[in-house]
Amino acid sequence: MAMLKYNLIPKPNFYKTLDGTYTVSSGTKVLCAEEFLTAGNYLTAYLKTSPVSTEGAIKFKKVGGMEPESYKLKVSPKGIFVEASDARGAFYGAVTLKTILMQATKKEGKAVVNGLLIQDAPQYSYRGVQMDESRHFFGVKTVKQVLDMMAMLKLNTFHWHLSDDQGYRIESKVFPLLNSVGSTRKYAGLQGFGFKHRGGEYSHYYKQEEIREIVAYAKKLHITVIPEIDVPGHTLAMLAAYPELSCTGKKIEPACENGILEDILCAGNEEVYTFLEKLFQELCSLFDGPYFHIGGDEAIKGHKLWEKCPKCTSVMQAQGLKSPKELQGYFMTRVNAMLKKYGKTCIAWNDCINDNFDSSIICQYWFPNNLAAVRKQASHRDFILSPENYFYFDEKYARVSLKKVYKFNEVKVGFAGVGQHIRGIECEHWSEWIDTDSALQFAMFPRLFAVAEVGWTKLANRRYRDFYKRLAWYKTYLNKIGINYSRLEKGRAATRQVIPYHFGADGKEYKKSEELKAKESF
Ligand code: ACM
Ligand code: ZN
């Protein structure tokens, strides 16, 4: 393929240059069918016009028979034509065109676009970004900025981790203690893995109207929002609000520590299931997408409590469950059934999944342990891949370098031959250490560009050196809009270090700053 003049990430899967040019000005009309209005609006917001339904030199046309999310874009002296079969495909045509217009040669306020033909479709249907707002909270403005960058990179799923040991972050009108108790912890900075408690009280949650605002904002960008309510472990904030839901009933507080903690929802108490039914009913009125993440990870310490709990052991006996792991299968199956009633497909982390789980539950693979058993699941269950050694962006660039992320392919992480069950990939922004917008941006960029290309561009069309050249324009864009990014993308030693995380600011390798040390010492 002849080189395109434009620096597009993700790289289109097919393109060629055509003779001639077309000149776009702010007066150029965008003709757009009603069902492709999200595409038309995205483009005209940039051109500062509105879509029209009569004649226009830029035309969005619906055609039959194209693959989901795919689009065709043609620029010729006669005009600019975008074709797609679905609204998401048309939207990605608009995204590509807008990026080209941003880069095109400008003459007297007009953009001269070189003739070209792009025919493009994604490698994976699931191209996700996760944000953890339990450990640290970022708010509406930051989330919208992340969604904007995702749309620009054709990333289509936002996995929103809103409940964990360190804070419950959604307004609940049904269970108000989730907010008055569960959304507040004693210290802003968490202790553990080399860090000490810092700062004062930390109290945040999203009002319901803010959740609705973000879900609606994402929808206009063709991004599906998946809420995660992590159960039965990672629930200290919930249990602080309603201690009667644990095996012991003991009073606890939302955690100010990092790591795997012990307390867990009781799997043998019917009150727990009633509570979750009501909570999910409320949450499903806020999140209208087809998926719900039910967590299920790192419940191992809680399993020890289940073994000692009369209610849990009695359910194990009655149901013929031989281990706490099987009891977790029973618990997750019931949770899945509750959400199925609202039409949701559930997702859970790989370390809890076993054969007891309904095969409709999608497995999110994060921990490269027990790979043989996990792979077996992939023969009859859909998977999302986010192995921590490639896609945990809270980890240092020294371990998860830009190049490493870019070089990902499913065969490398042991999923050869089960391709039909791999829906896609996702990068994670756990926020134990990511405590400011600047730190979030540092972790995310430039690695998000690599994730976007891995998710969209077919392996045979990917070249790191070529990607790296195209990245230069996107860095100037980040500079322009004031987004921080790491300059140490190339990485060094690929070994796990004592503290494998960044900490600090301003695009330097994060080190504990003097200022931070001073804060820690009070
Ligand atoms: C996880 O990192 N505990 C999913
Ligand atoms: Zn119990």
Q: 406-448, pLDDT tens digit by residue?
A: 999 998 888 877 667 999 999 999 999 888 898 899 899 999 9
**Ligand 1 atom closest to Cα of residue 234:** 3
Which pLDDT score, from 0 to 100, does residue 359 have? 87
Whether the per-residue pLDDT at 516 is higher than 70: the answer is no
Long-range contacts of 502-506 (CB under 8 A, 24+ apart): 502/394, 502/396, 502/397, 502/433, 502/434, 502/439, 502/442, 502/443, 503/195, 503/433, 503/439, 504/439, 505/436, 505/438, 505/439, 505/442, 506/438
What residues have their beta carbon closer than 5 A to ion ligand 2? 247, 266, 268, 309, 311-312
* Alpha carbon distance 230, 169 (integer Å): 12
Q: pLDDT-derived band of residue 398, with 50, 70 and 90 as boundaries?
A: confident
Which pLDDT score, from 0 to 100, does residue 518 have? 47
Name the residue of 228, 366, 433 whose CB sits within 8 Å of the most ligand 1 atoms, as the mutation to test its pocket: 366
Over range 191-208, report the average pLDDT.
Answer: 90
Question: Residues with beta carbon inside 6 Å of ligand 1?
Answer: 297-298, 349, 366
Which pLDDT score, from 0 to 100, does residue 372 have? 85
Which pLDDT score, from 0 to 100, does residue 87 have? 98
Whether the per-residue pLDDT at 500 is higher than 80: the answer is no
Peptide bond into 310 cis (omega under 30): no
Residues 45-103: pLDDT tens digits?
999 888 877 787 899 999 999 999 999 999 999 999 999 999 999 999 999 999 999 99
pLDDT, mean over the chain: 91
The residues near 201 (Cβ < 8 Å, ≥ 6 apart) are: 184, 185, 186, 187, 188
Helices (H), 341-421: 371-377, 388-391, 402-406
Whether the per-residue pLDDT at 514 is higher than 60: the answer is no
Which pLDDT score, from 0 to 100, does residue 491 have? 54
* Alpha carbon distance 68, 77 (integer Å): 29
Whether the per-residue pLDDT at 356 is higher than 50: the answer is yes
* Burial (CB count <10 Å: 0-12, 13-18, 19+), residue 377: buried
DSSP string, 457-506: S-GGG--HHHHHHHHHHHHHHHHHHT----S-TT----S--SS-B---ST
Ligand 2 geometric centre to CA of 266 (Å): 4
In 3-state terms, what secondary structure has residue 374? helix
Whether the per-residue pLDDT at 274 is higher than 80: the answer is yes
Whether the per-residue pLDDT at 464 is higher than 60: the answer is yes
Whether the per-residue pLDDT at 502 is higher than 80: the answer is no
Whether the per-residue pLDDT at 511 is higher than 90: the answer is no
Whether the per-residue pLDDT at 495 is higher than 90: the answer is no
Shortest CA distance to 421 belongs to which of 477, 459, 379, 455? 379
Residue whose CA is at the smallest distance from ligand 1 atom 2: 366
Ligand 1 geometric centre to CA of 424 (Å): 17
Inter-CA distances, 411 with 190, 385, 465, Å: 36, 11, 21
| Ligand found nearest the CA of 268 | 2
Which pLDDT score, from 0 to 100, does residue 509 have? 43
Ligand 1 geometric centre to CA of 388 (Å): 8
Ligand 2 geometric centre to CA of 310 (Å): 7
Which pLDDT score, from 0 to 100, does residue 493 have? 43
Residue whose CA is at the smallest distance from ligand 1 atom 1: 297
Which pLDDT score, from 0 to 100, does residue 148 have? 98
Which pLDDT score, from 0 to 100, does residue 490 have? 60
Which pLDDT score, from 0 to 100, does residue 461 have? 97
Which of 160-169, 215-224, 353-362 has the least mean pLDDT?
Answer: 353-362
